[in-house]
Amino acid sequence: RRAEEKESMASTEPLPQHIMALAIKLRADNDFYSQIHHLHQRGWELTPQNMEMLEPFLPCPKEADSGRVAIHKTGLGSSAALVTSLVGALLAFFGVVSLPEMVDGEEALEEDMTLPPAGFENGDSDEGVATPDGMENNGKHKEGLKIAHNLAQICHCYAQGKVGSGFDVSSAIYGSHIYTRFSRRLVGKFLDGLDQEGSSSSLTESVSQQLVDIVDGTWDSTVTPINLPPGLELLMADVCGGSESPSMAKQILEWKQNHRKTGFLDDYYWKDLKRCNKKIGTLLTDQFASAPIRDGLRRDGVMILANRT
């Protein structure tokens, strides 16, 4: 699901002209945080059906002894969704971009609109839209998504200490897809410059122009849409815990550096992981999408996977 549907719900209603202020209210979707406490509090069993019955945007519980907020994330990219939806809301509110609207949790897109970002390697096609109005809206929405994506990536990189692949931000914009990250050189120099600028809340004119140039530029990320085939479900468990993404990413990068050479091969584990990821993508898009597999999933459910994989 996309960020507009999930994390922030950053509502920005126009204010009277005489009020020079912008009020932003951030609300977190229940799916991003453990709801075990709220279910126990109501005496409900821990089931998906009861989860759906909870009122939306529940606050995180507080620890009984300290009174501090207990934040138990579910690991679905809450910080990226927050940054992305806030950036998108501000860009749309000030008329910088045109973004697809959400209707009942789904994007109200023109028929057959494709989602890969304009300016990316595989996102320049405008095929599939028949009417001039549809083509115009399609182009505006794709350009708006591109700008929101690029700016949110920069903001999130800066907030998290320039670690991570950016896949969570990309998912918040484009939904489910196969992703190749952008080159570090695209934003690295700019982010280093921000560190040298200090903690000022405003950017100089030259830095602002650099930011605009980067956001409007062509990035080398790739986005290939992907969906689970009919009959195949992905289940996730709420373990009432979570992790801090920056520290985890740094530990993984340190591990990669320390285990770079295995025997006579460089980056063996990393390359093997890449091969596994590609195989999973092929399974979902080709093998599992084939008619015999789809029919078997509808007939036998997940049991067929044990016999075919």
State the CB neighbour count (10 A cutoff) for residue 21.
5
Classify residue 247 as left (phi > 0), alpha (psi -120 to 50) or beta.
alpha
Flag whether pLDDT at 41 surpasses 80. Answer: yes
**Residue 214 pLDDT level (bands cut at 50, 70, 90):** very high
Contacts of 135 (CB under 8 A, 6+ apart): 126, 129
User: How far apart (Å, rounded) are the C-alpha atoms in residues 98 and 93?
Assistant: 10
**What is the residue whose two structure tokens read 């790739």?**
222
> Three-class SS of residue 162?
coil
Q: Is residue 267 exposed (0-12), middle (13-18) or buried (19+ Cβ within 10 Å)?
A: middle
Average pLDDT over residues 189-218: 84
Prediction pTM value: 0.74
pLDDT at site 107: 55
Flag whether pLDDT at 193 surpasses 70. Answer: yes
**Which is more confident, 60 or 306?**
60
